[in-house]
Each structure stands twice: as C-alpha cells, then as structure tokens.
Structure 1
Amino acid sequence: MERERGRGGPPRWWRQGPPWAGDRDDEERRAHWPWPSTLLVTAFVLLGSHFAAHQQHGDRVPLDTFARVLLVVAGGLLLWRKRHPAAVAFGTAAATLVYLGAGYPYGPVFLTVAVACFSAILSGHRWAAWASVGLLWAGHVLIAHWLYRGLPPSGDTAAPWGQELAVAAWVVAVAAVAELARARREQWARERAERARAARRRADEERLRIARELHDVLAHSISVINVQAGVGLALLDTDPEQARQALTTIKAQSKEALGEVRQVLDTLRAPGDAPRAPAPGLDRLPELVEQASRTGLTVDVDGTAPPLAPGTDLAAFRIVQEALTNVVRHSQSRRARVRLGHDGRALRLRIDDDGPASGADAGGSGNGLAGMRERAAALGGTIEAGPRPDGGWRVLAELPLKVKEDR
C-alpha cells in the first residue's frame, strides 16, 4: 500500500480511477478522474430525490431500489465525463429518461444531465450535448403527453405544456452557459498561444540580432588579426621591429574584440539590466580607419552623418565595418573610400575599393553581405553590393532617418 501511495499523495487508485479502468492506455492513465465532484453530485441527487419523493407523495411512484440504482448510475457516469464526454452525455440522458418513464419523483436527477452536457460542450462535443438534451426533452414530452396512460403511476394525467416550456428553457439555459464557457476557454487558449508565439518571435529576433552582432565584431577583428599575423610571420626574421608592430596590433585588436563581444553578451543577462557600454555608432568611424591602417589599408572618409537614432547609427557603423573587412579580406587594393551623405530623408553610405579581388580566404563565414542586408531591411533600408564597371567593388546602403515603429 505504501508503494501505491507514493510520497505525500493519495493512493494511485484515487488519482487514476478504478484499477479495471486505467492501466492499459497511457493516455487514459494521464486523464483526470473527477472523483470528488462525481461523489458530491451523486450524493446531492440521492438526497434531493429523497426529499422530493416526500413532497410528491401520492402523485409519483415512491423511490425504491431500482430508482436509487438509476440515480447512482446517472451520477456515477459523470466519473467518465472527461474521457468519454459524448457517451456520458447520452448515458445520463437515457438514465434520466428511464427514471422519469418509471414514474419516479421529479427532482435533482436533471443535474446529472446538466453536468454531462456542460462537460461535453467544453470538451468540443457540442453535437452530443445538444442531441442528448434534445433527446431528453423529446422523450419527456412523449412520456408526459402520450405514453403516460400506460406508464406508472396509475391514474396519471398529461403534464401541462407550460411545464414543457419550462424544461425547454432550462435545457437551453444550461447549453447556452456551457457554450459561453467554451467560447471563453477557446479565447483564453488563443490568447495564450498568441502570447507564446510572440514570445518565441521576440526570442528568435533577439538571437538573430546577437548572432549578427557577434558576426560583425568577430569577422572584422579576426580579419585584421589574420592579416597582421601574416605580416608578422613574413617579417619575423628580416624586420623584427615591423613584426613587433604587427603583434602589437594583434594584441590591441583582440582586446577590443573581447570588449565588444562582452558588450554583446551583456544583453543575455537578466531582463532589466542595462548594458555596460553604449552601442557603437558612426562616431567611432575614426577607430575603424585607424584599425584599417594597421593592416596597410588607407581609408579616406568624405562627408558627415546627421544625428541618428541608436538603431540606425549601429547599423550604419556595422555596414561600414563589414564593407572595410571585406576589402581587407578579398581585395588587393590598399585604398578604400567611405562617403557619407543624406538628404533629410535617408542616410546614404558608399564604400569603394579599386580591386582587383585577391582570391584569398581570410577565414570569413560568407555571411557578411547577408548580415548587412538584414540590418538594412530591419530598418526599412536597402543594400546594393557588386563590382564597379571600372574594376573594384562598391557597397551602397540607404537607411531611413526616421524608422517606423512596430505596432
């Protein structure tokens, strides 16, 4: 018995229903057996019918063993209302109809049909609920107005039609309340599902943003480190001083990359924590120029940018950073030009190099151009990248100065 009880809970037969009803099917074992409510309803029906029999003494057949069996069956069927709601709805209606046809007193036996109908509608078996209560009402009309002469009690008269209207109103009211509860439950389920989808969507967008930031930071820094490492290896024996400068550049670049990666990963901390450093923007363009110069790339900057929103400023900085990184990786040109312009509506970026392509692989992932396009598209902007007619490569980006907010 102790093994059946487990730790700190009721015995297994209480949680899962009778032993003969539960151990064959995993889904049945998981289903909830509504023992307490079933016992409560059955006890109320038995007790209420007992008092109703005293009130209707001489008008209806007194309660006997068969009547009590019918009441227990009608109440006991409710134990299966969560597993077989349609069958329980018809079963309780049939048991109640037999009870009424036998001439037993009117009373709370109708409560079993109401509970079964309510449960069937909530579980989606609406046709079964409406059909069962319709069957009960039609059967009651048939018994009370046509079959009463051949059924107990003897000497019974036809029921008034006003009573039938009252029964019909009762049936419709029970079904309507159940339909309202079902509609509310479905609405709550849709709202929960929508909130869950929105949360997943926000999480996916945040992961994409973090992945894009990490790609841009690491791609640029690793490309610079790759170039400087090659310079250091090539000059290690012939020009130690130049090799030392290359190693110094590698150290500075790796330190900066670690700081930016830490800043990106700070967003994964607990909600509500503020980032430790502001996001980079075009005000750090001189740093990009200096970093590029350490790799032997000369960058000429022309034009200025207007005040930008933080998201646009970050996207512009990353686009220029990625474009210069691609020059370092894939171009033999040692000079690049960055031009900034705007017309009050959009910020325009143009990054050119004279090429030709080096054909070397600097360890990139190949996602740089896709990342730039994603950044621009997220703000409602555009990116164009491709070879120039006179050789070299050009990146054109247009970012709106006023970004529409999501509603």
Structure 2
Amino acid sequence: MENARPPWARRCGGPVWERWAAVPPGEAPGRYGSRLPWLSTLVVTLVVAVGSGFAGHDQPGRVPLDSLGRALLVAGGALLLFRRRSPRTVVIGTAAVVAGYLAAGYPYGPVFLILALAAFSAVVAGHRTVAWCALGGVWLVHVVAAHWLYRWLPPPHDGPAPWAQELLVIAWVVAVVALSELVRVRRERLAEAAAERAAAERRRADEERLRIARELHDVLAHSISVINVQAGVGLALLDSDPEQARSALTTIKDASKEALGEVRQVLGALRTPGDAPRSPAPGLDRLPELTEQARSAGLTVDVTTEGTPATLPPGTDLAAFRIVQEALTNVVRHSGSRTARVLLRHTPGALEIRVDDDGPATAGAGEPGGGNGLVGMRERAAALGGTVEAGPRPDGGFRVRARIPLAGPGTVDRDPGADTVTPTATEEES
C-alpha cells in the first residue's frame, strides 16, 4: 500500500480506497497515479497463488495446479501493477489469463480476484464498456468450456457443469460491476463537489478584488480631484494672493491625509486577513465632511433629506456614502456647474439618492480612457439588490439616481412613478 494518498482518498477516508484506487476519470496520472502499486499487487498475487493451491485440494475433479497454472496466476497478478496507468489493457489481459486458466481445467477459487480487481479499476477509471466486455467474455468462455467443449478440454472424462453454477458466476459478475459503478459515481460526485468549491473560492476572490478596486477608486478619485483643483488654485494665486494659496495648500494636505488613511485601511485588510478594520467604514454620517471637501474644491453642495432617517446596515451606509462621493467627484471633474444638489429620501423599504448638477459638461468629460466611477456605483447598488441610473437630464445638466432596498436584494421594486433618466453612451464618469 502506497504511503501517499490522493486528495479524493483523504476525503473519503479508509484504506479500502488506497487498495482499490485507480486514476480518476479524465485525470492524467500524476504523482500518485504514476506510482506502481507494488505492495497491493504483491499481496493479491500471493493470496491468489496460495489460495488456488488450497482450493485444488477440495476439487479433485479439476486439474491439479502445476507450473503452467502457477505461471498464469503470476502473470495475471503482474498485470495488476499497471492497472492505474493502462486500465483497459490490464482488464483485457487479465480476462485472457483467467479464461485460459479456466479452459485448462485448473481449480476454481481466488483466480477470479485478479479479474475483479482489474475490472474494478477499469470501471472506476471510466472504461466501463471494456470492463463489462471483459467480464462477459470470461463468462462466455466458462459457459462454452463447461457445457460444450468439456469433452476435448482437461480434465479427462469430465462431465458438463451444472447450470446452477452459472447463477453463482452471474451473481459474482453483477456484484463486481455494482461495486465498481458505486465507486465511480462516488468519485465523480467528489470531483464535482471539489470543482464547485474551487469555483466558489474563485468567485469570492473575484468579488473581493472588485470590492477593493471600488474602494480604492472611490477614495483616490475624490481626493485627487480635490487635490488637482486646489493645486491649480494655489499655482494661480501663489504670487497675487499668497494667503489664498496657503489655504489651497492646507486643503491639499487634509485631502491627501484622509486619502492615505483610507487607502491604508483597505490595504491593511489585505495584509492581515480576518482582522477587523481599525477604523469604522465611512457612512452618511460623514456627509458634512464630504460636502466641505467639495466646497474647498469650488463646488457648492446643497443636501436635502426627506423622510425619517433610519439606522442603515454598514454595507448600505458605505454604499450610499460612496455613491454620493463618486457623483460629487464627477461634478468636480466633468461639469461646468459649480453647484450640486444631493437628495436623500428615506422610505420604509428603500433609500433613494439623487445627485443633480446643472452642467454643461466640460471639454475633458469625453476624453478616452475614463475611469469606472459609474460602473462601481452600479456594482455597489447591485450587490445590495438596488439600481443606479445616470445620464443627462432633459432640461440640461446631469443626474445620478440610486435606489437601495433596505429589506434585502430583490424585495423592493423601483417606483414606477418616479422620474428616471435613461443612461446614454456618453455617461460622464471618473
């Protein structure tokens, strides 16, 4: 028995799986499958050789086991060494050995173990038809030899075998096939379960990577937009109004410090998996801070709240904050308007967010290679069962409208009477 066990054997457990293992269907022989099963083959060969000798004492009508019979038993056992590498060849070879053994009139007994093990390995490896044909072929040889050709085959003066004996042979064949099929099905289910687990792990990794990418984009896009605007102001006023330039530099320092803190928090979660964040995730309670940063970039933000604010789940609170942040970042970067209006509508089943600006879009809004701001907003909302719509308003300007259900994904429908904006191919996103 080999020391190394394949993964499926470790999951199923038990030495039986090691003794009777074959290369899984569709799997190339690897480190485990390429090793020859010396120990198990030696044990089976010894059991067959010794057991057949004892079986001959109880069957005086059969040919005593001689050197040719022992050679056939050893040859059949030797073929089992390659049952994992070439299961089809081995099951055909062992079938020929067993058929020759029976036709020569040697005693019945453990010789069938050789064929059973070869057929088992072939079925488990996926070569069911070859295994069935090998078993059926040996049975036909036995029927022909025992009932029609017994006059010309050893032992001499032998009579026809009783037909009831064939029922035992058929029962043996059915048992071998049934056990082999059971193991094959079990193997396939284990492989499917392993593939499903691997796919689920890949999906979770992809989702986490997208989440981190959205966080970094939202943090950096907003902060760098503020820094870019204030840097331009500082450069323009450096000589004519040093005090105003100093104020712009102070805003740059504050925005960069905040951005570094949030980036450090996101990257810290990657370095220490499983640890809780050291600082709470941002939410709508930081909206005044966000609007103040926008004002420092020259954007006047008017925030209106409708309905009774409720305590939002952390994921919903973070998504709402990031959607507002990204919408204001788009206004700063892409809109000619210096005024934005934020509406937060709290309803019993959903949180609605609407961010409007009067436009028009600046010349840089249509530059190729834009970012993924709107895509990130939609992904955040979709993860919570919500929607995001963005595009030009009929009366000019631009609107971002989000609806996030509070009772779980798919439980809150969009308000059919609410005004909507159809997304266009020229969405302004950072």
Matched, 1:195 2:200: no
1:14 is matched with which residue?
none
Separation in structure 1 between the aligned mates of residue 267 and residue 92 of structure 2, nearest angstrom: 60
For residues 360 and 236 of structure 1, do their structure 2 counterparts lie closer, same or farther at Cα, with a shift above 3 Å needed?
farther
Tell me which of 398, 406, 426 is aligned to 1:401. 406
Instruction: Please list the CA deviations of residues 363-390 of structure 1 after superposition, one character each: whole Å capped at 9, or x if unmatched.
Output: 9942111111111222221212122233
Q: Does structure 1 residue 345 correspond to structure 2 residue 349?
A: yes
Structure 1 CA distance for aligned equivalents of residues 410 and 41 of structure 2: 54
Match of 2:313 among 309, 314, 322: 309
Q: How far apart are the structure 2 equivalents of 1:330 and 1:291? A: 17
Alignment of 1:324-335 (within 5 A): 324-335=328-339
1:45 is aligned to 2:48: yes
- 1:36 is displaced (CA, Å) by 1.6
SS at structure 2 position matched to 1:150:
coil
2:58 to 55, 59, 84: 55
1:259 correspondence with 2:299: no
Q: CA deviation at 1:127?
A: 0.7
What pairs up with 1:6-405 in 2 under 5 angstroms?
31-56=34-59, 58-303=60-305, 305-360=309-364, 365-404=370-409
Tell me which amino acid in the other structure corresponds to 1:32.
R
Question: 1:38: how far off?
Answer: 1.4
TM-score by length of 1: 0.89
User: Shift of the alpha carbon at 1:285?
Assistant: 0.4
Shift of 1:146: 1.0
Q: Percent identity?
A: 68
Separation in structure 2 between the aligned mates of residue 271 and residue 216 of structure 1, nearest angstrom: 22
1:347 partner letter: L
Q: Indicate conservation of the 8 Å contact 1:100/1:106, yes or no.
A: yes
Give yes or no for contact 1:223–1:363 (8 Å, CA) kept in 2. Answer: no
The alpha carbon displacement at 1:391 in A equals 2.2
Distance 1:150 1:331 in 2: 102
Residue by residue over 1:227-257, the C-alpha shift from the partner in whole angstroms, topping out at 9 and shown as x without a partner, is: 0111111111111111111111111101100
SS in 2 for 1:398: strand
User: Does the 8 A contact of 2:237 with 2:244 survive in 1?
Assistant: yes
Deviation at 1:333, TM superposition (A): 1.5
The one-character-per-residue Cα deviations of 1:254-284 (angstroms, maximum 9, x if unpaired) are 1100111112223324443111111111111
Q: Cα–Cα, structure 1 residues 53 and 204, in superposed 2: closer, same or farther, change >3 Å?
A: same
Q: Report the secondary structure of 1:147's partner residue.
A: coil
Q: Deviations over 1:189-220 (max 9, x none)?
A: 11111011001101100101110111001100
Checking the alignment, whether the CA contact within 8 Å between 1:28 and 1:83 is kept in structure 2 is: no
Distance (whole Å) between structure 2 residues aligned to residue 87 and residue 262 of structure 1: 61
Q: Is the 8 A contact 1:385 1:396 kept in 2?
A: yes
Rounded to whole Å, the distance in 1 between the matches of 2:188 and 2:84 is 17
**Partners in 2 of 1:156 and 1:27 — Cα distance?**
47
CA distance in 2, matches of 1:186, 1:378: 33
2:294 counterpart letter in structure 1:
A
The amino acid of 2:346's aligned partner reads H
Provide the secondary structure at the position in 1 that maps to 2:363: coil
Alignment correspondent of 2:11 = none
Match of 1:18 in 2: none
- Contact 1:218/1:257 (8 A) holds in 2: yes
- Letter aligned with residue 352 of structure 2: R
Bigger CA drift: 88-97 or 269-278?
269-278
Structure 2: which amino acid aligns with 1:218? L
Deviates more, 1:263-272 or 1:84-93: 263-272
Q: Distance in 2 between matches of 1:72 and 1:405?
A: 68
Structure 2 residue ranges without an equivalent (≥5): 5-27, 412-430
Give me the whole-angstrom Cα distance separating, in 1, the residues matched to 2:165 and 2:379.
71
Q: CA deviation at 1:99?
A: 0.7
Are the structure 2 counterparts of residues 50 and 170 from structure 1 closer, same or farther at C-alpha, using a change threshold of 3 Å?
A: same
Distance apart, 1:32 and its partner CA: 2.5
Residue deviations 1:28-84 (CA, integer Å, cap 9, x gap):
99722222211221121111112222332x311112221111111111111121122
Measured in 2, the distance between the counterparts of 1:150 and 1:240 equals: 119
Worse-matched range after superposition: 157-166 or 262-271 = 262-271
Give yes or no for contact 1:280–1:317 (8 Å, CA) kept in 2: yes
> How far apart, in 2, do the equivalents of 1:230 and 1:101 lie?
99
CA contact (8 A) 2:29 2:85 kept: no
Q: Deviations over 1:95-123 (max 9, x none)?
A: 11111111111121111000001100110
- 2-structure distance, mates of 1:368, 1:168: 70
How far, CA to CA, are the matches of 1:349 and 1:363 in structure 2? 28
Given that 1:219 and 1:364 are in contact with CA atoms closer than 8 Å, whether structure 2 keeps it comes out as no
Contact 1:216 1:321 in 2 (8 A): yes
Aligned length: 381
In structure 1, runs of 5+ residues without a counterpart are 1-8, 10-25
The C-alpha deviation readout for 1:285-312, integer Å capped at 9, x for no partner, is: 0011111111111111111543212111
1-side partners of 2:393 and 2:73: how far apart? 90
Q: Partners of 1:262 and 1:282 in 2: how far apart?
A: 21
Distance 1:28 1:277 in 2: 48
SS at match of 1:148: coil
